[in-house]
Amino acid sequence: MEHVDLADLHMHSHFSDGQWSPAQLVASAKGHRLRAIALTDHDTVAGIEEAALAGRAAGIEVLVGVEISTWLDADVHLLGYGFDPEHAGVATLLASARTSRAARAELICDRLNEMGVPVSMQEILDQAAGGAIGRPHVARALVEGGHVHSFREAFDVYLGDGKPACVEKARVEPAVAIQVIHEAGGAAVAAHPGFYGGTEFLEPLVAAGLDGVEVRHGLHDEVTAREFEDFARAGGLVCTGGSDFHGPGPGRAGVGTVTIPYEWVEDLLERAAAHRAASGTRRRV
Ligand code: AMP
Ligand code: ZN
Ligand code: FE
Ligand code: FE
């Protein structure tokens, strides 16, 4: 089957807070006839191998990817692409992020218990099933325990930013994450910037060597996407985009619902290649 020249470069598997396996994501991408995807789990590359194998079998290009939580006055997500997933610097950074996610989940559980919500740490850990643990796992545990009616209510009442059981994550600086991605031969992209504010908040990231901006995302309307695209092009940055798929459900964008032209993937991989040449890292895409 011929593919269309489109790519979806943002999605999560059950190795972080997504609900599908990497192989299921690849199968869905094949159903949408995508040419390329990237698996961008939160703070882990554990699903990359399965995604790459499935991609090879399905004839879909699977880029190495990750979504790293950093802190710049607030939670800021950075996407890394085309890096060596076995690079020691990346492994150390992600391992430390996962350790602090586990500790934070305990704090979130304590807060909920103090608020009279009797969810247990074991119920939360069961939802994460050994993957990088996040608020969506807590939300699913709350739904299963009958403490809220829906995933949405869990975030609206307890877990969303600024809500009583939202605990901040460890403070990795974006500049540090960008540097580590570069050292591992990859390109660094600001995820869903419209969620955080206007283009001005990108300035310090650009100063730290940011390669690209995720201009197409379900949280961006057309005007926002255009504004970020203009900003990226004017600054010589590449543009990316993707569905940020976490699993099927009401109001959730599916794989392939937000796409970019394949040429944007080539531009992105060119940036990664430049960092790889500078760092002497071998190619692993
Ligand atoms: P964490 O990495 O633990 O901070 O959780 C962040 C994830 O929670 C995001 O990737 C989303 O999948 C989800 N999330 C964050 N805020 C909301 C919200 N208000 N409603 C639904 N899901 C959310
Ligand atoms: Zn997520
Ligand atoms: Fe994100
Ligand atoms: Fe995401």
- Beta carbon of 10 within 6 Å of any ligand 1 atom: no
Backbone angles phi, psi at 225, to 5 degrees: -60, -45
Q: What does pTM read for this prediction?
A: 0.95
CA of 155 to the centre of ligand 1 (A): 8
CA of 237 to the centre of ligand 2 (A): 25
The tokens for 134 are 């996040």
- Beta carbon of 18 within 6 Å of any ligand 1 atom: no
pLDDT tens for the chain, 285 residues long, are: 577 899 999 999 999 999 999 999 999 999 999 999 999 999 999 999 999 999 999 999 999 999 999 999 888 999 999 999 999 999 999 999 999 999 999 999 999 999 999 999 999 999 999 999 999 999 999 999 999 999 999 999 999 999 999 999 888 999 999 999 999 999 999 999 999 999 999 999 999 999 999 999 999 999 999 999 999 999 999 999 999 999 997 667 899 999 999 999 999 999 999 999 998 766 554
Among 69, 135, 166, residue to substitute to test ligand 1 (most atoms within 8 Å of Cβ) = 135
Q: How many CA atoms lie within 13 A of 100 on its CB side?
A: 16
- Beta carbon of 87 within 6 Å of any ligand 1 atom: no
Q: What is the distance between the alpha carbons of residues 142 and 61, in angstroms, rounded to a whole number?
A: 37
- Beta carbon of 135 within 6 Å of any ligand 1 atom: yes
**CB-proximal residues (5 Å) to ion ligand 3:** 77, 191
